[in-house]
Amino acid sequence: MVKYKVEVDRQTCIATGACYATDSAHYESDEKQKSKVVGGETDESKSVRVFDDDNLEDAQAVAKACPVSAITVTQL
């Protein structure tokens, strides 16, 4: 098990849907198709949650693939 924080910069997100289409364990759409973190604390500017599981690499791969680098994954 690894503890890590996933944060989406919702001001930067351009609502491509790529993250939540690829990894629905970490990312989901809001009503405007912008990304938010599943089960996270979300407002207009960001969405954040700490996870404690074995899926760090999945979250990181999706973060790398975001076209505007709106996702940050930090191992704690």
Residues 30-49: x where in contact with ligand SF4 by CB under 6 A, - otherwise, as a string? -----x--------------
Tell me the number of residues near ligand SF4 by CB under 6 A: 14
Q: Is 52 left (phi over 0), alpha (psi -120 to 50) or beta?
A: beta
Please name the residue that has the structure tokens 């790398």: 64
Residue 34's Cβ-count burial label (10 Å; 0-12, 13-18, 19+) is buried
Using the rule CB under 6 A, give the single segment among 40-48, 50-58, 68-76 that binds ligand SF4.
68-76
Binding to ligand SF4 by residue 17, rule CB under 6 A? Answer: yes
* Chain positions contacting ligand SF4, by CB under 6 A: 8, 13-19, 35, 66-68, 70-71
